[in-house]
Amino acid sequence: MAFPIIIHENLLVSPQSSTQLSLPLTFFDMFWLRFHPVERIFFYSLPNHSHSHDSSFFFNNIVPNLKTSLSLTLQTFLPLAGNIIWPSHSPKPIIQYNPGDAVSFVIAESSVDFNHVLQNSPCDASESRFLLPNLDSSDSTASVISMQVTLFPKKGFSIGITAHHAVVDGKSSTMFIKAWANLCRSSVQECPSFSLNPELEPFLDRGVIKDPTQLDLLLADNWTKDPNDNTKKKRSLEILSFVFKPKVENSVRATFNISFKDLDKLKKRVLSKWDEVNDDEVVVNNSYSKPDTLSSFVVICAYVSTCMAKAIQEDEKNEEKKFAFGFAVDCRSRLEPKVGENYFGNCVNLHVVDAKPEDFTKEDGFVIVAKKIVSKIKNLDKDGVLEGVDTLSSKHESRVRLGVELIGVAGSSRFGVYENDFGWGKPSKVEITSVDRGLTIAISETKDENENAGLQVGLVLKNNVMDIFTNLFHQGL
């Protein structure tokens, strides 16, 4: 489906900084070196006053304010304006900012109905892709972040952000967006000096991440291996687009809201069946002991992942599907010594739940998977948050060979994405577009601040699968 869009300008926005900066990539960063970028779109409705509905308001007010505040924000977040490079003398890549480096900033316009892009009901998954900028990468260099601002005349605009995962995790990228929004919203960008709130000041020292086993070098070496010939090695920073290509053909994108009231119902359902559903296992440790309560994260991940698995299985009746579920854990407060909340970089480790591949499609799969997510989280305190980090890649490759589809999670309800007001109101919708590159659940808080508040889930699935998922999702509630 063609998405009518016009590119007005391709600009570069640079921080006004003469400081040169080099940062090493830690083992947390190295895991994502050639992984697909994280792509988000923030949709904003234009204010109600009449002059804001004139396109000149967008080009003369909104765009200049976004550019000026972005330049100021980048002064504090210098790594985002730089590039990932791999010097010949270095065993691993680094982030390098040189004065004059800049971020790509695209200004576009679309004639698509703004109400259409705001809807939660299923729509062509490819449409969102036109609202996102590319992120340049090659063998020798990779950009860190890029922006695209798209006007929907008289209705609203979107801010599409594409970020390299080897430089920022979800917590870091949303901290930057909050800082940018705060500076844009205030009048501080008109002053020669400015300051951010302490909670938005990035901590850039990568030395706080300890790596006594030099896992970073092992991961760097793994990235040099030719997937077709293990005897050959080549340094490259090019994103593996052919591996992580968006799966948008014959697919739809949809958003589902789950109220806290419905989440409480799901929690009670799991707890009520806790002792009677044990997946035919003899549980010998107390990690399965019934808790007093469950987190919203546990139930929404278990519920949505099992609905997805059952929908895929039902659509492909003649093929027995296998699934696994993985989630990223923020390690900042779990490391020894602890890393500050403002640490800017990757500080997450992926953990895969110890569920059988067939658990997800069982009648009580929701309860089984919820119990096993709880067990995995409890075991983090016992085994350590870095347990399995050295075998993560090899285990994933084994799952792929066995035909196991990994369902992942992007985002968090704790990031507060609907708080990002650039001066023209809070977002009307926020979307993690890059979930279309895998079987991934996007999670955030909802934009509601009333009794309907809860969590928001974004998905991309094949047309038929989405129909089945929607029925299962609503019936289960």
**pLDDT tens digits for 130-155?**
999 999 999 999 999 999 999 999 99
Which residue segments constitute the domains of the chain, with CATH numbers given?
5-233 (3.30.559.10), 251-476 (3.30.559.10)
Q: Is the model's pLDDT at 52 over the cut of 80?
A: no
Q: Is the model's pLDDT at 357 over the cut of 70?
A: yes
Is the CB of residue 316 less than 8 Å from the CB of residue 308? no
Going across the sheet that includes 5-13, the strands are 5-13, 103-110, 145-152, 156-163, 38-45, 429-432
pTM here is 0.95
Q: Give the pLDDT score at 381.
A: 81
Question: Which region among 222-226, 346-350, 467-471 has the lowest average model confidence (pLDDT)?
Answer: 222-226
Contacts 24+ apart (CB under 8 A), 139-143: 139/234, 139/235, 139/236, 139/237, 139/238, 140/85, 140/86, 140/237, 141/83, 141/84, 141/85, 141/237, 142/83, 142/84, 142/166, 142/237, 142/238, 142/239, 143/83, 143/103, 143/104
- The residue annotated as part of the active site, out of 211, 262, 264, 421, is 421
Does 421 qualify as catalytic in the annotation?
yes
- The residue annotated as part of the active site, out of 29, 101, 164, 165, is 165
Q: How many CB atoms lie within 10 A of CB 34?
A: 18
Q: Is the model's pLDDT at 188 over the cut of 50?
A: no
Q: Which of 13, 6, 45, 11 is nearest to 422 (CA)?
A: 45
Q: How far apart are CA 155 and CA 361, in angstroms?
A: 43
The Cα-based distances of 390 to 362, 376, 393, 409 in angstroms read: 32, 17, 8, 21
Written as six digits, the tokens of 455 are 């969590």
Q: Give the pLDDT score at 283.
A: 46
Q: Give the pLDDT score at 134.
A: 96
Q: How far apart are CA 39 and CA 434, in angstroms?
A: 5
Q: Is the model's pLDDT at 192 over the cut of 60?
A: no
Q: Give the pLDDT score at 420.
A: 97
**pLDDT tens digits for 359-375?**
999 999 999 999 999 99
Listed ranges 182-196, 244-258, 314-328, 389-403; the one with the highest mean pLDDT: 244-258
- The pLDDT of 389-399, averaged and rounded, is 84
* Cross-strand bridge partners of residue 6: 109
Band the pLDDT of 249: cuts 50, 70, 90. Answer: very high
Show Cβ contacts of residue 121 under 8 Å, excluding neighbours closer than 6 positions.
254
**pLDDT tens digits for 64-74?**
999 999 999 99
Q: How far apart are CA 124 and CA 116, in angstroms?
A: 11
Question: Which region among 95-104, 183-192, 264-273 has the lowest average model confidence (pLDDT)?
Answer: 183-192
Q: Give the pLDDT score at 269.
A: 96
* Cross-strand bridge partners of residue 159: 42, 149
Is the CB of residue 435 less than 8 Å from the CB of residue 459? yes
**pLDDT tens digits for 211-227?**
989 999 999 999 998 76
Question: Which region among 37-46, 222-231, 460-469 has the lowest average model confidence (pLDDT)?
Answer: 222-231
Helix runs in 108-237, H state only = 114-118, 170-185, 215-223
Question: Which region among 178-192, 285-299, 401-415 has the lowest average model confidence (pLDDT)?
Answer: 178-192
Q: Is the model's pLDDT at 25 over the cut of 50?
A: yes
Q: Give the pLDDT score at 449.
A: 78
Q: Which of residues 280 and 54 earns the better pLDDT score? A: 54
In the block, tokens 């709880």 appear at: 374
Q: How far apart are CA 438 and CA 436, in angstroms?
A: 6
Is the CB of residue 185 less than 8 Å from the CB of residue 421? yes
Q: Give the pLDDT score at 193.
A: 53
Angle of helix 260-272 versus helix 296-315 axis, rounded to 10: 80
Band the pLDDT of 284: cuts 50, 70, 90. Answer: very low
Is the CB of residue 421 less than 8 Å from the CB of residue 392? no
Q: Which of residues 284 and 129 earns the better pLDDT score? A: 129
Q: How far apart are CA 199 and CA 223, in angstroms?
A: 34
